[in-house]
Amino acid sequence: MLAQARTDWAGWSGHDPRLVVVDDLLDLPDWIRTADRLDVDDVLHVLARLGSPTGGDDIAAAGALVWVLLPGATVVAHRLRDMTPRIDECVAAQLWIEVRSFAWERRRKVAANIVMNLRRGVLRDLGAHEHLRAVDPTWAHAVPLAPEADLWRVLDAKAAEPLAVEAEEELAELLSWAMAHRVIGEHDRQLLVGLAEAACQVAVPRSRQGRSGLCSRAGSSVVAAQHGISAVTVRRRARQSMRALAEAYARQMSA
């Protein structure tokens, strides 16, 4: 696979100039060690797109990305080596899954995201529930189902039903619950609602702004003017409130 990737490198570079940083794929790791992080992310993002089933679906490109990410995967395997004597196999399998399923359409930091998800995936497969409960409450409470389980038919039927609750009603219910349990205060609620409204008004591109657009500079400036505080304060308070909501929800789910 690596030999095929070396052969295809010139063709890939011809179609995307971001790859014109080395003449030979084997020189890429040395270039990565000294290059600017943004430039590295650009190169890895091209490989991620080429190797994704939703992109180029090129197995050789996926293999090239796996090879480049081996140092990070090796660190993960070393740190988790006491969990199983087959840690190398677990990490290798999960690394391939993460590379092939990387969401290149909405994510830019390829190495950081893949290595982080790699570690979580290995822990999940090894049943490290105590660790997952801290870092990923959703997976910690997940229950595996066989493909023929009756619950899948129930879930499919429910998915086909129209939503019973509008998004605005669901948000209002969540914020009311949070205020009743003193997770956030009235001023925090006003800031969050104001940021959501401002994000819609100024058409913030959610995929490229903090917190899905809620902490964008444009939106926070509008809310800051309305409340007579700085935009920095608005973003800080909003991040604190959303963090508190997420933590409270995780505790509620695990109760």
Per residue in 112-129, pLDDT tens?
A: 899 999 998 898 888 765
Q: Do residue 136 and residue 13 come from a single domain?
A: yes
User: Cα–Cα distance between 248 and 106 in angstroms, integer?
Assistant: 27
Arithmetic mean of pLDDT, 32-39:
90
For residue 145, being part of any structural domain is answered with no
230 and 188 in a common domain: yes
Question: Quick check: 80 and 118 in contact, CB under 8 A?
Answer: no
pLDDT-derived band at 179, boundaries 50, 70, 90:
confident
Structural domain span for residue 104: 2-140
| Per-residue confidence (pLDDT) for residue 130, from 0 to 100 | 52
Structural domain total, the chain: 2
Tell whether 214 is covered by a domain.
Answer: yes
71 & 171 share domain: no
Average of per-residue pLDDT across 232-244: 89
If asked whether residues 32 and 79 sit together in one domain, one would say: yes
182 and 97 part of one domain = no
Residues 81 and 9 in one domain: yes
Asked whether the beta carbons of 118 and 95 are under 8 A apart, the reply is yes
pTM (predicted TM-score): 0.54
Do 15 and 136 belong to one domain?
Answer: yes
With CA atoms as reference, report the closest residue to 230 among 191, 203, 196, 179. Answer: 191
Say if 197 falls within a structural domain: yes
DSSP state of 193: H
